[in-house]
Amino acid sequence: MNLSAVRRHFPPEPPALQVEAALQLLRQAGHAAPPGAPGSQAWLQGLVDALCELSSRDVLTGLANRRGLESALLRELDRVARTGEPALLLLLDVDDHPRVQQLHGRAVAEQALQTVGRDIAAQLRPMDLAARLEGQCFAVLLPNCAPGFGQEVADGLCARVAALDLPGLAGRRLGLTASVGGAFAGPARHADPAAWLGRAGLQLDRARLDGGHRACLETTAHSTVSADEKDLLFTPVGAMADEPGPRAARP
Protein backbone atom coordinates (compact mmCIF):
# COMPACT_ATOMS: atom_id res chain seq x y z
CA MET A 1 0.00 0.00 0.00
CA ASN A 2 1.50 3.32 -1.03
CA LEU A 3 1.59 6.48 1.10
CA SER A 4 -1.48 8.04 -0.56
CA ALA A 5 -3.55 4.96 0.18
CA VAL A 6 -2.39 4.97 3.79
CA ARG A 7 -3.46 8.60 4.16
CA ARG A 8 -6.88 7.81 2.70
CA HIS A 9 -7.42 4.94 5.11
CA PHE A 10 -5.83 6.65 8.09
CA PRO A 11 -6.39 10.41 7.84
CA PRO A 12 -4.15 12.51 10.08
CA GLU A 13 -5.51 13.47 13.48
CA PRO A 14 -6.58 17.09 13.89
CA PRO A 15 -3.95 19.31 15.49
CA ALA A 16 -4.06 19.46 19.28
CA LEU A 17 -5.39 22.59 20.95
CA GLN A 18 -2.50 24.84 21.96
CA VAL A 19 -3.89 25.85 25.34
CA GLU A 20 -1.36 28.55 26.24
CA ALA A 21 -1.61 30.15 22.79
CA ALA A 22 -5.41 30.09 23.05
CA LEU A 23 -5.35 31.73 26.48
CA GLN A 24 -2.99 34.41 25.17
CA LEU A 25 -5.41 35.19 22.33
CA LEU A 26 -8.23 35.59 24.82
CA ARG A 27 -6.14 37.87 27.04
CA GLN A 28 -5.14 40.04 24.09
CA ALA A 29 -8.81 40.46 23.21
CA GLY A 30 -9.68 41.39 26.79
CA HIS A 31 -11.48 38.13 27.58
CA ALA A 32 -11.08 36.08 30.75
CA ALA A 33 -10.26 32.38 30.78
CA PRO A 34 -13.31 30.10 30.96
CA PRO A 35 -14.58 29.17 34.44
CA GLY A 36 -13.96 25.77 35.94
CA ALA A 37 -10.96 23.58 36.62
CA PRO A 38 -8.22 24.17 34.01
CA GLY A 39 -7.71 21.10 31.87
CA SER A 40 -11.10 19.58 32.61
CA GLN A 41 -13.39 18.62 29.74
CA ALA A 42 -15.85 21.39 30.60
CA TRP A 43 -13.04 23.94 30.83
CA LEU A 44 -11.56 22.91 27.48
CA GLN A 45 -14.99 23.08 25.85
CA GLY A 46 -15.42 26.57 27.29
CA LEU A 47 -12.05 27.53 25.83
CA VAL A 48 -13.04 26.25 22.39
CA ASP A 49 -16.38 28.09 22.60
CA ALA A 50 -14.60 31.32 23.58
CA LEU A 51 -12.24 30.99 20.61
CA CYS A 52 -15.17 30.41 18.26
CA GLU A 53 -16.87 33.51 19.62
CA LEU A 54 -13.66 35.49 19.26
CA SER A 55 -13.28 34.40 15.64
CA SER A 56 -16.68 35.88 14.80
CA ARG A 57 -15.95 39.31 16.36
CA ASP A 58 -14.41 42.43 14.85
CA VAL A 59 -11.26 43.39 16.73
CA LEU A 60 -11.69 47.17 16.44
CA THR A 61 -15.36 47.56 17.41
CA GLY A 62 -16.26 44.34 19.22
CA LEU A 63 -19.23 43.89 16.88
CA ALA A 64 -19.75 40.77 14.82
CA ASN A 65 -17.44 40.47 11.82
CA ARG A 66 -18.32 39.24 8.32
CA ARG A 67 -18.08 35.62 9.42
CA GLY A 68 -20.42 36.24 12.34
CA LEU A 69 -22.86 38.12 10.14
CA GLU A 70 -22.96 35.43 7.46
CA SER A 71 -23.72 32.78 10.11
CA ALA A 72 -26.52 34.97 11.45
CA LEU A 73 -27.90 35.51 7.93
CA LEU A 74 -28.08 31.74 7.40
CA ARG A 75 -30.03 31.30 10.63
CA GLU A 76 -32.31 34.21 9.80
CA LEU A 77 -33.11 32.96 6.29
CA ASP A 78 -34.06 29.62 7.83
CA ARG A 79 -36.30 31.38 10.36
CA VAL A 80 -37.95 33.48 7.65
CA ALA A 81 -38.67 30.35 5.60
CA ARG A 82 -40.26 28.63 8.62
CA THR A 83 -42.26 31.51 10.06
CA GLY A 84 -42.95 33.75 7.07
CA GLU A 85 -41.88 36.81 9.08
CA PRO A 86 -39.81 39.30 7.06
CA ALA A 87 -36.33 40.46 8.02
CA LEU A 88 -34.36 43.53 6.99
CA LEU A 89 -30.64 43.71 6.25
CA LEU A 90 -29.08 47.18 6.23
CA LEU A 91 -25.59 48.10 5.06
CA LEU A 92 -24.19 51.38 6.39
CA ASP A 93 -21.14 53.11 4.94
CA VAL A 94 -19.57 56.09 6.72
CA ASP A 95 -19.26 58.82 4.10
CA ASP A 96 -15.83 60.37 3.48
CA HIS A 97 -14.12 58.22 6.11
CA PRO A 98 -10.90 57.98 4.02
CA ARG A 99 -10.76 61.78 4.03
CA VAL A 100 -11.09 61.80 7.83
CA GLN A 101 -8.14 59.44 8.11
CA GLN A 102 -6.10 61.56 5.73
CA LEU A 103 -6.79 64.81 7.61
CA HIS A 104 -6.87 63.60 11.21
CA GLY A 105 -4.83 60.40 11.22
CA ARG A 106 -5.55 56.73 11.70
CA ALA A 107 -6.13 56.88 15.46
CA VAL A 108 -8.88 59.50 15.16
CA ALA A 109 -10.47 57.66 12.23
CA GLU A 110 -10.54 54.38 14.18
CA GLN A 111 -12.02 56.09 17.24
CA ALA A 112 -14.75 57.46 14.99
CA LEU A 113 -15.57 53.95 13.73
CA GLN A 114 -15.67 52.64 17.30
CA THR A 115 -18.11 55.39 18.26
CA VAL A 116 -20.32 54.71 15.25
CA GLY A 117 -20.33 50.99 16.06
CA ARG A 118 -21.27 51.57 19.71
CA ASP A 119 -24.05 53.95 18.74
CA ILE A 120 -25.52 51.53 16.21
CA ALA A 121 -25.45 48.66 18.71
CA ALA A 122 -27.08 50.82 21.40
CA GLN A 123 -30.16 51.37 19.22
CA LEU A 124 -30.91 47.71 18.58
CA ARG A 125 -33.23 45.18 20.15
CA PRO A 126 -31.77 42.06 21.80
CA MET A 127 -32.76 40.02 18.74
CA ASP A 128 -30.95 42.35 16.29
CA LEU A 129 -27.32 42.11 15.20
CA ALA A 130 -24.77 44.80 14.35
CA ALA A 131 -21.60 43.91 12.46
CA ARG A 132 -18.58 45.59 10.91
CA LEU A 133 -17.80 44.09 7.54
CA GLU A 134 -14.64 45.96 6.57
CA GLY A 135 -13.26 49.47 6.64
CA GLN A 136 -16.06 51.93 7.25
CA CYS A 137 -18.88 49.53 6.26
CA PHE A 138 -21.28 48.21 8.90
CA ALA A 139 -24.29 45.90 8.71
CA VAL A 140 -27.47 45.67 10.76
CA LEU A 141 -29.73 42.61 10.74
CA LEU A 142 -33.30 43.22 11.93
CA PRO A 143 -35.43 40.08 12.30
CA ASN A 144 -39.21 40.44 12.20
CA CYS A 145 -39.04 43.96 10.75
CA ALA A 146 -42.09 44.70 8.64
CA PRO A 147 -41.52 46.57 5.35
CA GLY A 148 -43.92 49.25 6.58
CA PHE A 149 -41.26 50.90 8.70
CA GLY A 150 -38.00 49.70 7.19
CA GLN A 151 -37.36 53.12 5.67
CA GLU A 152 -37.89 54.79 9.03
CA VAL A 153 -35.30 52.53 10.65
CA ALA A 154 -32.78 53.21 7.88
CA ASP A 155 -33.37 56.97 7.94
CA GLY A 156 -32.95 56.89 11.71
CA LEU A 157 -29.51 55.31 11.41
CA CYS A 158 -28.43 58.05 9.00
CA ALA A 159 -29.68 60.70 11.41
CA ARG A 160 -27.90 59.10 14.37
CA VAL A 161 -24.52 59.09 12.63
CA ALA A 162 -24.93 62.72 11.55
CA ALA A 163 -25.76 63.71 15.15
CA LEU A 164 -22.65 62.12 16.69
CA ASP A 165 -20.24 64.50 18.42
CA LEU A 166 -16.81 63.25 17.36
CA PRO A 167 -13.54 64.98 18.27
CA GLY A 168 -10.84 65.57 15.68
CA LEU A 169 -7.40 67.13 15.81
CA ALA A 170 -6.72 70.59 17.27
CA GLY A 171 -10.20 70.86 18.74
CA ARG A 172 -11.91 70.41 15.40
CA ARG A 173 -15.08 68.34 15.33
CA LEU A 174 -15.77 65.58 12.82
CA GLY A 175 -19.01 65.99 10.91
CA LEU A 176 -19.70 62.47 9.69
CA THR A 177 -22.64 61.28 7.63
CA ALA A 178 -23.64 57.82 6.44
CA SER A 179 -25.18 56.13 3.41
CA VAL A 180 -27.50 53.18 4.05
CA GLY A 181 -28.84 50.50 1.71
CA GLY A 182 -31.29 47.79 2.65
CA ALA A 183 -33.05 44.69 1.38
CA PHE A 184 -35.74 42.46 2.88
CA ALA A 185 -35.89 38.70 3.12
CA GLY A 186 -39.36 37.18 3.14
CA PRO A 187 -41.13 33.91 2.38
CA ALA A 188 -41.36 34.91 -1.29
CA ARG A 189 -37.62 35.63 -1.51
CA HIS A 190 -35.55 32.48 -1.22
CA ALA A 191 -31.89 33.45 -1.23
CA ASP A 192 -28.55 32.67 0.29
CA PRO A 193 -26.61 35.13 2.47
CA ALA A 194 -24.42 36.26 -0.45
CA ALA A 195 -27.46 37.12 -2.57
CA TRP A 196 -29.08 39.00 0.32
CA LEU A 197 -25.90 40.95 0.95
CA GLY A 198 -25.67 41.67 -2.78
CA ARG A 199 -29.19 43.11 -2.93
CA ALA A 200 -28.52 45.33 0.08
CA GLY A 201 -25.23 46.37 -1.52
CA LEU A 202 -27.01 47.52 -4.67
CA GLN A 203 -29.16 49.83 -2.57
CA LEU A 204 -26.09 51.12 -0.74
CA ASP A 205 -24.57 51.96 -4.13
CA ARG A 206 -27.75 53.88 -4.99
CA ALA A 207 -27.45 55.91 -1.80
CA ARG A 208 -23.81 56.72 -2.52
CA LEU A 209 -24.49 57.70 -6.14
CA ASP A 210 -27.29 59.99 -4.97
CA GLY A 211 -24.78 61.96 -2.92
CA GLY A 212 -24.63 60.04 0.35
CA HIS A 213 -26.21 60.93 3.70
CA ARG A 214 -29.38 59.07 2.73
CA ALA A 215 -30.99 55.64 2.87
CA CYS A 216 -32.24 53.59 -0.07
CA LEU A 217 -34.27 50.41 0.38
CA GLU A 218 -35.25 47.77 -2.12
CA THR A 219 -38.76 48.38 -3.42
CA THR A 220 -41.19 45.98 -1.80
CA ALA A 221 -44.87 45.78 -0.99
CA HIS A 222 -45.55 47.59 2.28
CA SER A 223 -47.52 45.59 4.78
CA THR A 224 -49.90 47.14 7.28
CA VAL A 225 -48.18 47.95 10.56
CA SER A 226 -50.23 48.15 13.75
CA ALA A 227 -49.56 50.69 16.49
CA ASP A 228 -48.47 47.89 18.83
CA GLU A 229 -45.96 46.57 16.27
CA LYS A 230 -44.48 50.01 15.74
CA ASP A 231 -44.24 50.55 19.50
CA LEU A 232 -42.41 47.22 19.82
CA LEU A 233 -39.71 48.26 17.35
CA PHE A 234 -39.26 51.87 18.43
CA THR A 235 -39.77 52.03 22.21
CA PRO A 236 -36.76 53.81 23.81
CA VAL A 237 -34.48 51.67 25.96
CA GLY A 238 -35.27 53.58 29.16
CA ALA A 239 -38.97 52.97 28.76
CA MET A 240 -38.72 49.22 28.41
CA ALA A 241 -36.93 48.39 31.65
CA ASP A 242 -40.10 47.47 33.55
CA GLU A 243 -41.90 45.77 30.67
CA PRO A 244 -41.53 42.12 29.67
CA GLY A 245 -40.40 41.05 26.21
CA PRO A 246 -37.80 42.45 23.79
CA ARG A 247 -38.16 46.06 22.67
CA ALA A 248 -36.05 48.39 20.62
CA ALA A 249 -34.55 51.81 20.83
CA ARG A 250 -35.46 54.38 18.24
CA PRO A 251 -32.62 54.85 15.76
Point out the domain boundary residue: 7, 26, 55.
55
Looking at residue 67, its pLDDT comes to 93
Q: Evaluate if pTM is beyond 0.85.
A: no
Domain with 22, as residue range(s), is 15-55
Do 105 and 214 share a domain, yes or no? yes
Looking at residue 87, its pLDDT comes to 95
Evaluate whether residue 32 is within a structural domain. yes
Evaluate whether residue 5 is within a structural domain. no
Positions of E strands within 53-159: 87-94, 129-134, 137-143
Q: For residues 103 and 210, is the Cβ–Cβ distance under 8 A?
A: no
Nearest partner of 182 among 147, 211, 212, 136, judged by Cα: 147
Do 169 and 48 share a domain, yes or no? no
Do 110 and 223 share a domain, yes or no? yes
Evaluate whether residue 61 is within a structural domain. no
Report the domain count for the chain: 2
Do 149 and 231 share a domain, yes or no? yes
Do 126 and 194 share a domain, yes or no? yes
Do 125 and 215 share a domain, yes or no? yes
Is the Cα torsion angle 186, 188, 194, 200 positive or negative in sign? negative
Residue type at position 83: T
Is the Cα torsion angle 148, 151, 154, 156 positive or negative in sign? negative
Q: Describe the crossing of helices 97-104 and 106-122 by its angle, rounded to 10 degrees.
A: 140
Evaluate whether residue 202 is within a structural domain. yes
Looking at residue 36, its pLDDT comes to 78
DSSP 53: H
Do 40 and 78 share a domain, yes or no? no
Q: For residues 63 and 57, is the Cβ–Cβ distance under 8 A?
A: yes
Looking at residue 48, its pLDDT comes to 60
Sheet-wide strand order for 178-185: 129-134, 137-143, 87-94, 178-185, 215-217
Q: Reduced to 3 states, what is the DSSP secondary structure of residue 166?
A: strand
Helix, strand, coil percentages (3-state) for the chain, rounded to 5, are: 50, 15, 35
Do 50 and 148 share a domain, yes or no? no
Q: Tell me how far apart the alpha carbons of residues 86 and 90 are, in angstroms, rounded to a whole number.
A: 13
Looking at residue 26, its pLDDT comes to 57
Do 80 and 113 share a domain, yes or no? yes
Mean pLDDT in order along the chain per 10 residues (251 residues): 54 63 63 74 65 71 95 94 94 92 90 95 95 96 92 96 82 86 82 92 97 92 45 51 43 39
Do 27 and 98 share a domain, yes or no? no
- What is the CATH number for 178? 3.30.70.270
Do 51 and 75 share a domain, yes or no? no
Tell me the pLDDT tens digit for each residue of 69-123.
999 999 999 999 999 999 999 999 999 888 888 888 899 999 999 999 999 999 9
